[in-house]
Amino acid sequence: MMNSKKMDTGSKDLISSLPDALLCHVLSFLPTTEAASTSVLAKRWRYLLAFVPNLDLDNTIYDDRPKMGRRKRLEMRKSFKLFVDRVLALQGTAPLKKFSLKCKIGSDPSRVNGWVLNVLERGVQELDLFIASEYEYPLPPKVLMSKTLVSLKVAGTDEFTIEVGEVSLPKLKTLHFSDVSFGDEGGPPFAKLISGCHALEELVMIKMMWDYWEYCSVSNPSLKRVTIDCQNIDENPKSVSFNTPNLVYLEFTDTVAAKYPEAIFDSLVEASVGIRMTDDQVWDARDLVHSHRGYKRCKGANAAGFFKGICNVKILYLSSEALEVLTFCCKKAIPVFNNLIHLTIETDQMVDWESLPKLLENSPNLETLVFKGLHYGDLNQCMDTDYRFKDTNECFGDQGDTCQCKPWYGTPLWLSSSPVKILKVLKFGEISNYKDDMERQTDLIKHFLEAMPNLEQVILYYDTPFDDDLKIVSTDLQMLKKVASTKCEIQVISDNISYSFTVHSSSSPSGLVFFKNTFPV
């Protein structure tokens, strides 16, 4: 037991003995209201807030208190305004590194604008604004003329508008927009802002609405990371262009545009693509397929230019909607992805795999293929013998007027010549509806094993809490008498139980030899 005398530090206040600069640094990590409350601790703490380099102010927290009456809420907001005024007055002209403000305002934005202009004059480097207003709130023009800003994040409601006049942000590296508007013109001012940030490296746009713009252009040679999540779902954007030759990461979710005149991604390494058709386009496209009239190109949308632009990517994630866009919006123009080594496909019970064989055939150096779920829509191509069952023409089974065709027949080259070494299935065993069952998913895994000659590892992340489910699947796979790769190791893993089955392939006539390994997951 430690000597109690060694533990005795007396009555000395060790924290207060720290240098002012260090104490201010510690306070900068607290919400400003909490940092201000430390002024009552001792006389020495009274004025430390004047030198705190980061201010974090939030009056939206009162909106999360439903039991607080309207009068009390208004009093709290008034008190908040007075508090901010006092803090800024206390700090005077002291340099400021970061200013974060979350604020709900009324019809008069002058108070908030005064705060923003104050911190700009003090050379703030990081400005984070969330403005909620029922009235139009334009971002103060001087924000776009700051010589010191390194990071600018603006968010709010549809009434938060950015009116782009002069732009001079020589040090800005990070620019975030969330749920803001660029006015009626939209495209030209947005393009002017992006191209005017000569040091910009990261652009994030969330809840953007640009379907009514005549065009949207993201053009900046210094950009390295771009994340775009557009909310429009009823209309196709007219024109979307990218001129980002040094971009290395792209995350793009949007309704597919009518055209992509420019898609320059010369340095792209990783892309996550979630482009989608409108609901009407999805309905029309699927209706043609289900009525045996084939796959027709979607009207009003053409994604060929976009996918050609990202064809140098090494790591690619495609949502199920994007897979459907490949089918209906650029089926005959899927480019060759020579550099692609890691592909993740999100699957859906309503989306068939019509474009997947061509995509994999055009990925000659693919090493890792990941399926998120193992669902596929019914092809309903019973009139085409290439899409029928291998041993039977019975496409309409017990489930009624439903095509039971399997998606891999008719295009065997995408499997028999596949270079894929690692195959992973996330959420294996997830059942989405009555059409979906374990037999369909297990059959597909068997077919992969029988047809893909370069497989070295197959990992099934089984979505089940039951030990017996893993045993059933493992036993079923063990019955295989033929595998394309004699060096394939198979693992069936569940996050909910403490062991997995590891399966090693053998060249013996009996097919697969299983070794059961138990370990914590």
Q: How far is CA 277 from CA 210, 234, 280, 290, 347, in A?
A: 15, 9, 8, 18, 16
Over residues 164-190, the pLDDT tens digits come to 889 999 999 999 999 888 876 778 888
What is the rounded CA–CA span in Å between residue 352 and residue 409?
A: 13
Task: Name every residue whose Cβ is closer than 8 Å to that of residue 363 and which is 6 or more positions away in sequence.
Answer: 336, 337, 340, 343
Over residues 99-118, the pLDDT tens digits come to 999 888 875 788 899 999 99
Q: Which residue has the higher pLDDT, 384 or 121?
A: 121
Specify the length of the chain in residues.
521
86-100, 189-203, 494-508: lowest mean pLDDT where?
Answer: 494-508
Over residues 479-517, the pLDDT tens digits come to 787 888 888 888 888 876 644 544 444 544 444 444 444
Contact 62, 38 (CB under 8 A): no
Longest dimension (CA), the chain: 90
Mean local confidence (pLDDT), 23-31: 60
Mean local confidence (pLDDT), 214-222: 92
The pLDDT assigned to 396 comes to 42
| Percent of the chain predicted with pLDDT > 90 | 37
Q: Which residue has the higher pLDDT, 89 or 198?
A: 198
The pLDDT assigned to 520 comes to 36
What is the rounded CA–CA span in Å between residue 490 and residue 505?
A: 8
Task: Give long-range contacts, CB 8 A cutoff, 24+ apart: 479-482.
Answer: 479/511, 480/446, 480/449, 480/450, 480/511, 480/512, 481/509, 481/510, 481/511, 482/450, 482/511
